[in-house]
Structure 1
Amino acid sequence: MKELLKTMDRLSKIYEQFDLLDFRAHKAIPLTFNKKDSKKLLPQNKRLYFSYQYLDAEKTRLTNVLLNQAIDVKDKIFQQNPELHPKLIEKGLKLKNIDETHKKNSLSMPRRNRKINKLKQLIALIDDESLSLCRGYLTQMKVLIHAHKTELSPKRNEPYVAEELLKSLDFRTDLMQFDYDRYLYEDFEPESFLKYLIYQQVQRIPSFVKSYDARDIVPEAGESGFSGIAYVVTIDDISECYVTFKGTEADMDYTESSRSKRMEKFILEGYKDWNYNVNAILIGNEIGLDQMNAAQKFMDYLTDVVPENCKMYGLGHSLGGHFVQTLQLISNCFDMGYTLNSAPIQLKQVKLLKPDLISDKNWERLFTLTEDKTITTALNNEIRKLLPREYPEIINESFQQDLTQIFYELPYTIWIGQKWEYNFSEWKYPFKIHPRQYLDSGEINSYQKLFGEFFARTQNDTTGRQILRSGISFAWDRMQLLRRDIDKPETARYFFDYSNYLYKSGIFKDEPQDVSKYFNEDTESSVWKSSRREWPFLRSLNRDMLELSIYFHIIYGTKHFLKKNPRVKK
């Protein structure tokens, strides 16, 4: 059994090296569109491919060793629990099948033998490794052994120290990632995973662990799309509660065999979160309070069931970070909190939820300060003075140019606590997080209105297919409206300014051009075909930039930034 555990640890390290290689490959993709900068940004592809070939071969070797060891291992614990050994073998076989499937897949080679094409192919190869699934099955094997063979988990002598887990970057990111990966652990109680995770971090065994899933406690949580889970743990007589809030749905449940059901779940969950993002955060209207109401009920429930001597900590990624910040501003429910690439607080929403938080005079001043703003230190200082206190216990960590940072320059949005921003020196990443440098208030409001109209159009849709159909119809209607009004000076200016912002952000490679004469012709073509001909600018859509902006937002992409020294904003 000890040899099996050693093999598992070695395989885990291979997965970690794959993650790092994936990050290095993403970071190396050139985005500045000139040969000089591209040469500086591109590392030696041979070195990256050599690393991949080594890791791929070592992964295959260790997977085979692990399966053989799992089959051959003999232990008395199997007599006491006859289901344990078959479960270990089953997880090992799944790892073997994933590896063999990857070997059989033949990814298409790039047409042109260019450095960037090879780099993209390397990223595709790493993606085809299905590391999330592999990591999930391997962790399940570790959890099984840890739960049934405790003598193989020696404890350290020093007792647990309060906040030790909270201050561990690996613990925070692993616990937040678990919210996205829960579908991989359907055979396990969350308590089993957490016990293992705690031991891995601090080498102490908790005497008490209990989880609370918001969707089991608050009936409307699932319907609204809200997702949160709380873990109450006691280690060496120190009790702590970690409340994690999930971000906007981004992961596909590949354990679901039906492709249609898999896509249906993906679309519906993502739609619910984006509906909240737009109505509650982007616009701040009353119809977008469903998820926040569920979050408040969840916290009220936890307040009643969690022991008084138990510290409450909030953790949230993306949309989840918005819940941590907003709940703390409204009710001071956390002793400490960490957010990662967090969406902001929407003041209009907060006033609807708790109008007596501050005086009417301070509300009026806050709305004036944040109605038309560009984030500056002086502005942040003024905002903090109008709030009940400074909230230093909330730490917002983010990749400096993360896409959610755009939200902080939209009307009536703020953050509380400290802001730790991470980046790499001498690294050119063109995405612009300050839209106010390119768009005026009218254009920002138009952007908000556009998305609000889309969710108003789809509010009665109940299936993924209906949402997609309504989305296509909405896009076509707006294209017709643009055709009709393009000669108006205001429309033309808005059109150009949005295009220029996207170009400066690297979303498009070509500079904006005047709308062609075809805008008033061939109205019967599909939206995509006509737009490709009518607006040459769309042809230069930079999919690499779109993919990178998402990759650097998710936990697996952004956690590598967090190992650098941050720029702290208070």
Structure 2
Amino acid sequence: MRELLSNLNRLNHIYDQLDLLDFRAHQNFPLTFNKEDSKKLLPQNKRLYFSYAYLNKEKTRLTNLVLNQIIDLRAEQFSKDTTIHPQLIDKALKLKNLDQTHHETNFNVPSRNRKINKLKQLISMIEDEQINPCRGYLNQIYVILLLNDLLPLKLRDEPYQAGELLHDVDFRTKLLQFDYDRYLYQEFRPENYLKFLIYSRIQRIPDYIRSYDVRDIFPEASECGFSSIAYEISIDGIKECYVTFKGTEANVDQSIRSRSKRFEKSILENYKDWDYNVNSILIGSTKENRQLIVAQDFLRYLNEHIASQSLVYGIGHSLGGHFVQTLQLMDNSFDAGYTLNSAPINLKLIHHVKPDLFSEDVWKKLFELTNDTDGTKFITPTLNSEIKKQLPRDYPEIINECFEQDMTQVFYELPFTIWIGQKWEYNLSNWKYPFKNHPRAYLSSGEIHAYQHFFEELFAYLSSSDNSRQVVRNSLGFIGARTKVLRNTIGEQETAKYFFDYSNYLYQSGLFMDQPQMVSKKFIHQNNSIFKGSLREWPFLRSLNPDMFSLATYFHVIDGAKHFLNRTPHKL
């Protein structure tokens, strides 16, 4: 058993190293965006490929070794419960199958063996390793061993201190990630995984764990797309409740066998989240605020059902961070909380939902401070100080951690958006990353408002969609109609300027490779195809850089964002 545990730990370390290698490869990816910077890729690629070759080989060796050791494992518990050993073998076989499938994958060899293509191929190979599913099955082996008293415990002598887990960055990120990986743990209750996670982080065993899934308690949560799980725990007499809020990014439910049904469910879940994002955060209206209402109901339910004197902590990523901040401002729901790449609070939304939170004078002052009537909206330290003076208190217990150039940061320059508590911004030193998180440097207030209005109209148009196919079809129809309007009005000075400024901002952020030019008034009327005509009139559209979209998404989601958190933040 000791040798098996040693190899399990080594395999887990290999997964961590592959995860870190993936981050390092993405970190180098901006070097591919221009020819001059790409010269630095050759030595970088050599080091990355050397590391990957070793890690990949070691992963295969340890996976095979663990499988053989589990097959040969003998324990007294196996005779008492004949299902334990087959369960362990099943998880080890799944690890073996994932590894074997990866080795059988034929990766497309780049037509040109360029440095850029080599880096792209490396990222594809690392992602094909499926680190999160591998971690999931490895964790299940640990969970089975722990639940059946097969895992030798090394408990520390010091009792648990309140908030110790909350301030553990690995605990927070793994707890948030668990919400996306729950399909891997269908054979187990969430409490089983949490027991192992807690032990692995603090070397103490919880006395009590109970989970609350909002979708099991409130059916309307599924209807509006809201997702949250609360974990009530007691360790050494300390009672805590961790409430996690899920972000917006796509979550493919692998438990659904049909690929088309998985895709349809993913589209529908994303649509519900973006419907809330646009109407409640981007606009600040009440057209779709059901997620916030359910979140309030969920917190009230928890306060009625968890043990008295429990400390309640909020943890949220992206959209989930918005709920942590908003609930704290509205209802003081948490004793403390952390967010990661959080979307902001929209004061207009809160004014609609809870108008008596502030006096009319305070509301008026807050709206004046956060409006953009003067053509600007940037939360400087001075402006943030003025906003805090209007709030009941400073909310220092809420810590908003973010990658400084994360794409959600653009939301904070929209009218009436704020953050509360502390804000810790992370970034890398001497690193070129093109995304511009301050769109106000490129876009006027009128252009920002037009951007808001476009998405408001889009989701109003999509509101009649009953299923994912209609969402996709209606989205394409709406965008096609708006593109036609754009082509018909591009000769107007204001339209041409707006289009150029939007395009220039996207170019400066790396989303276009070629710099846009101000379009001419002469337009192509002969071409019946809207999109082909647009490409001929505006050739820079051909230079759309999908790699930048992928990169921005990677640094936003937990897999990429977590690697910034071991650096020293800039605290606001």
Q: Give 1:420 shift.
A: 0.3
Partner of 1:194: 194
In the TM superposition, what whole-angstrom CA distance separates every residue of 1:405-442 from its partner, at most 9, and x where no partner exists?
00000010000000000001111111111111111111
| Match for residue 382 of structure 2 among 378, 382, 388 | 378
Partner of 1:566: 569
Partner of 2:74: 74
Partner of 2:457: 453
Question: In the alignment, does 2:474 pair up with 1:470?
Answer: yes
In the TM superposition, what whole-angstrom CA distance separates every residue of 1:183-208 from its partner, at most 9, and x where no partner exists?
11111100000000000000100010
Q: How many residues align?
A: 568
Partner of 2:349: 349
In the TM superposition, what whole-angstrom CA distance separates every residue of 1:307-345 from its partner, at most 9, and x where no partner exists?
221100000000000000000000001000000000000
Question: In the alignment, does 2:160 pair up with 1:160?
Answer: yes
In the TM superposition, what whole-angstrom CA distance separates every residue of 1:134-183 from its partner, at most 9, and x where no partner exists?
11111111111111116612211111111111111100111011111111
**3-state SS of paired residue (2:241):** strand
CA separation in 2, counterparts of 1:58 and 1:297?
49
2:491/2:520 contact within 8 Å kept: no
In the TM superposition, what whole-angstrom CA distance separates every residue of 1:14-57 from its partner, at most 9, and x where no partner exists?
10000000000000013584444333476521111011111111
Q: Mapping of 1:392-431 within 5 angstroms?
A: 392-431=396-435
RMSD: 1.5
Match for 1:427: what amino acid?
W
Q: Give 1:257 shift.
A: 2.3
State, as a whole percentage, how many aligned pairs show the same letter. 60
Match for 2:474: what amino acid?
S
Match for 1:547: what amino acid?
S
| Match for residue 545 of structure 1 among 544, 548, 551 | 548
**3-state SS of paired residue (2:556):** coil
Q: Give 1:251 shift.
A: 2.9
**3-state SS of paired residue (2:232):** strand
**3-state SS of paired residue (1:316):** strand
2:491/2:522 contact within 8 Å kept: no
Partner of 2:177: 177
CA separation in 2, counterparts of 1:172 and 1:506?
31
CA separation in 2, counterparts of 1:197 and 1:466?
41
Question: In the alignment, does 2:267 pair up with 1:263?
Answer: no
Going from structure 1 to structure 2, the CA distance change for 1:60 and 1:41 (only over 3 Å counts) comes to closer
**3-state SS of paired residue (2:164):** coil
Partner of 1:364: 364
1:28/1:42 contact within 8 Å kept: no
TM-score (norm 1): 0.97
Partner of 2:205: 205
Partner of 1:138: 138
**3-state SS of paired residue (2:392):** coil
**3-state SS of paired residue (1:253):** coil
Q: Give 1:6 shift.
A: 1.8
Partner of 2:516: 512
1:32/1:428 contact within 8 Å kept: no
**3-state SS of paired residue (2:510):** coil
2:497/2:518 contact within 8 Å kept: no
Match for 1:488: what amino acid?
E
2:145/2:151 contact within 8 Å kept: no
Partner of 1:313: 313
Q: Mapping of 1:76-115 within 5 angstroms?
A: 76-115=76-115
CA separation in 2, counterparts of 1:519 and 1:187?
61
Moved more, 244-253 or 511-520: 511-520
**Structure 2 unaligned spans of 5+:** none
2:30/2:434 contact within 8 Å kept: no
Q: Mapping of 1:224-263 within 5 angstroms?
A: 224-263=224-263
Partner of 1:6: 6
CA separation in 2, counterparts of 1:31 and 1:272?
36
CA separation in 2, counterparts of 1:220 and 1:500?
42
CA separation in 2, counterparts of 1:312 and 1:33?
45
**Structure 1 unaligned spans of 5+:** none
Moved more, 105-114 or 339-348: 105-114
1:338/1:395 contact within 8 Å kept: yes
Q: Give 1:529 shift.
A: 3.8
In the TM superposition, what whole-angstrom CA distance separates every residue of 1:511-555 from its partner, at most 9, and x where no partner exists?
112336885335532x54443333211111112211110000011
TM-score (norm 2): 0.97
CA separation in 2, counterparts of 1:155 and 1:522?
77
Going from structure 1 to structure 2, the CA distance change for 1:285 and 1:145 (only over 3 Å counts) comes to same
CA separation in 1, counterparts of 2:181 and 2:48?
28
Partner of 1:119: 119
CA separation in 2, counterparts of 1:523 and 1:273?
37
Going from structure 1 to structure 2, the CA distance change for 1:298 and 1:523 (only over 3 Å counts) comes to farther
CA separation in 2, counterparts of 1:297 and 1:121?
47
Partner of 1:292: 292
Moved more, 92-101 or 408-417: 92-101
CA separation in 1, counterparts of 2:212 and 2:90?
29
Match for 1:270: what amino acid?
N
2:249/2:557 contact within 8 Å kept: no
CA separation in 2, counterparts of 1:78 and 1:32?
54
Partner of 2:221: 221
CA separation in 1, counterparts of 2:92 and 2:379?
51
Going from structure 1 to structure 2, the CA distance change for 1:389 and 1:32 (only over 3 Å counts) comes to farther
In the TM superposition, what whole-angstrom CA distance separates every residue of 1:358-403 from its partner, at most 9, and x where no partner exists?
1101111111111111121111011001111110000000000000
CA separation in 2, counterparts of 1:469 and 1:134?
36
Q: Give 1:131 shift.
A: 1.2
In the TM superposition, what whole-angstrom CA distance separates every residue of 1:225-249 from its partner, at most 9, and x where no partner exists?
0000000100000111000000003
CA separation in 2, counterparts of 1:437 and 1:122?
35
CA separation in 2, counterparts of 1:168 and 1:340?
13
Going from structure 1 to structure 2, the CA distance change for 1:19 and 1:352 (only over 3 Å counts) comes to same
Q: Give 1:300 shift.
A: 0.5
